[in-house]
């Protein structure tokens, strides 16, 4: 069995636990990027070990810090509650049961300034790694380790080929691609993991394609402005 150095040593992080702290912060930050809009409140539903022992391991602060845009190695993770208050962001935590979920799982709900909601479910699976399992009730299933495109489109012939054509024209290689739909002719979701970062200009061209409803880029290695 191949084991990476990352799995042995874990990520550069603020302790005490890679799963409960680094992974939680990474999960919160991935959810923030998926939501993709300013928010006034964020709720964290905690499942399993996150619910039972998370507070002692700093999970609450790590999840909130990630949602505010802080990286897992940022020393300010410990001050997440105070930073949220300074940013005017309300937050709350509650316990819930997620069927067939990893022990370190959470449902993160953002209440946006425009009155809409975003709901992301995911897990911290060890060594600071995460897995996003659901977005707004639709199954997802990606790690966010590679730059990831989340595209919502109408289920019409030719849309997917138009998307992949734009990526090929930009010289972007597709590592993984999954397409799911609610029903024939209804809304579909395309998740694409690429081997290199997706330039904003390429994302812009994808948004202009006929029948494409939204395009979000999740790149945890890219620089972004935090709320604090």
Cα(163)–Cα(206) distance, integer angstroms: 6
Question: In this prediction, what percent of the chain has a pLDDT beyond 90?
Answer: 79
Phi, psi of 132 (to 5 degrees): -90, 120
Domain of 194, CATH number, reads 3.30.70.260
Is 185 found in the same domain as 85? no
DSSP-based three-state secondary structure for 24 = helix
Secondary element (H or E) of residue 83: helix 80-87
- What would the pLDDT profile of 140-199 be if each residue is shown by its tens digit? 999 999 999 999 999 999 999 999 999 999 999 999 999 988 778 789 999 999 999 999
Is 167 found in the same domain as 138? no
User: Taking the C-alpha atoms of 18, 20, 26 and 32 in order, what is their torsion angle to the nearest 10 degrees?
Assistant: -170
Give bridge partners of residue 108 from the DSSP assignment: 44, 120
Q: How far is CA 31 from CA 4, 133, 212, in A?
A: 25, 11, 22
Domain for residue 2, yes or no?
Answer: no
Is 80 found in the same domain as 130? yes
Residue at which a domain ends, from 94, 126, 142: 142
3-state secondary structure string, 175-199? EEEEEEECCCCCEEEEEEEECCCCC
Is 53 found in the same domain as 111? yes
Question: In this prediction, what percent of the chain has a pLDDT beyond 70?
Answer: 89
pLDDT of 16 over the 60 cut: no
C-alpha angle with apex 222: 220 to 228, nearest 5 degrees? 85
Is 84 found in the same domain as 36? yes
Domain of 32, CATH number, reads 3.30.1330.90
Domain for residue 67, yes or no?
Answer: yes
Residue at which a domain ends, from 116, 142, 168: 142
Q: Tell me if the bond preceding 13 is cis, omega within 30° of 0.
A: no
Is 97 found in the same domain as 72? yes
- What would the pLDDT profile of 63-103 be if each residue is shown by its tens digit? 999 999 999 989 999 999 999 999 999 999 999 999 999 99
pLDDT of 22 over the 80 cut: yes
Domain range holding 23?
7-142
Question: Can you give the pTM of this predicted structure?
Answer: 0.88
- What would the pLDDT profile of 101-135 be if each residue is shown by its tens digit? 999 999 999 999 999 999 999 999 998 999 999 99
- DSSP 8-state code for residue 21: I
- Looking at the 3D structure of the chain, how many domains does it have? 2
């Amino acid at each position: 069995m191949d084991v990476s150095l990352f799995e042995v040593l874990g990520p550069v992080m603020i302790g005490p636990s890679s799963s409960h702290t680094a992974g939680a912060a990474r999960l919160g930050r991935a959810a923030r990027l998926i939501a993709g809009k300013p928010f006034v409140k964020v709720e964290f539903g905690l499942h399993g070990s996150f619910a039972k022992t998370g507070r002692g391991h700093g999970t609450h602060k790590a999840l909130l810090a990630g949602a505010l845009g802080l990286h897992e190695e940022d020393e300010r993770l410990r001050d997440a509650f105070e930073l949220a208050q300074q940013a005017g962001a309300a937050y709350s935590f509650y316990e819930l049961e997620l069927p067939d979920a990893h022990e370190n799982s959470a449902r993160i709900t953002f209440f946006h300034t425009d009155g809409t909601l975003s709901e992301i479910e995911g897990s911290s699976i060890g060594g600071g790694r995460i897995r996003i399992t659901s977005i707004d009730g639709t199954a997802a299933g990606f790690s966010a380790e590679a730059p990831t495109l989340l595209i919502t489109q109408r289920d019409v012939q030719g849309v997917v080929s138009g998307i992949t054509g734009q990526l090929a024209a930009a010289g972007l290689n597709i590592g993984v691609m999954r397409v799911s739909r609610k029903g024939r002719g209804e809304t579909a979701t395309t998740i694409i993991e690429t081997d290199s970062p997706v330039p904003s200009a390429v994302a812009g061209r994808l948004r202009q394609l006929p029948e494409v409803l939204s395009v979000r880029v999740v790149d945890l290695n890219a620089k972004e402005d935090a709320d604090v």
